[in-house]
Each structure stands twice: as structure tokens, then as C-alpha cells.
Amino acid sequence: MERLERFHLVAGLVLDDALNGFPDYKPIDTIRIVETISGEKYPAQEYNPISGTLEPALSEHQEEIRSLCDSTISWLVDEGYLRGSSVASNIVVLTSKGQAVLGIRPLDEPDEPTFAEKLRSNVAQGAWSAVADSTKLLLLSGAGGALGF
């Protein structure tokens, strides 16, 4: 999986996580994202004598994904899809722009599935290619709800 494809998958998983926590600020579950993409269990924390802290002993692949998670969250905040917390960079809430591109609508609108509903369904089914592909189109268009996902 190429880096840009992984970015789209991570962005979809982050948006799904933020949607599940809305309207509250919620820490994004980067451990779940790393495990999902790497296919490896997140390692237990070990003492790092250099930093003097407990840190997970991540494989190089897992570390790359965790770094991509941080970068993706920052990008989604910078682009206005999420609002970040002053407490920690991975604590976010979905913005109005984020809701709009996900196609969140009032309950009295037609029953056609929104992008958010399709995203949730694809995440629940583990359809990672569908998550990455549809998130790519969403971020490129900025019109999520208007697209026929």
C-alpha cells in the first residue's frame, strides 16, 4: 500500500472515529488505526532508558503508520475538517465543514445513505480499500455529501 493510499485510509478511520465521538472532543484511537493497517498487535510499553519514559516497542512499519496518523490528524485540523484540543494534538472534534463533507443531515431528509453512513459501514466490514478510495474522493472534492458514494 502506497503512502498516499495509507493517508486516505488513515483519514477515513480518523473521520470515522471523530464522527463516533461527536459532539464531544475525543482522542483519536491511533492504536486501533496502527493495528488495523499494520495487521500487527500494538506492543506493550517498555522502559526507554534514554528518555526515561515508558514507550511501546513499535516495529518500523508501525512507527511509520503512527507518524502518518499524527500527520493526518494535523492535516485534517489545518484544513478545517476537525478542530483540535489545546490539551493534546490527537484530541479532536468534527467541525461544521467535516460534518458537511461527511453528508450529515437533519433526520427529516431522504433515506439515501450519507458518506458518513457508508464510511461507518465500510470500517465495520473491514473494507479498507473502499475506505481509502472513498476518502480520497471526499478530500479531493470537498463535496462529500454531494458525491454518490
Max Cα-Cα span within the chain: 58
pLDDT score, position 107: 53
Whole-prediction pTM = 0.70
Least-confidence region, from 77-81, 88-92, 116-120, 122-126:
116-120
**Domain residue spans of the chain:** 3-142
Contact residues for 27 (Cβ-Cβ < 8 A; gap 6+) = 88, 90, 91
Pick from 65, 7, 71, 3: nearest CA to 34 = 65
Q: What is the mean pLDDT of the chain?
A: 83
What are the pLDDT digits (tens) for 28-38? Answer: 999 899 988 88
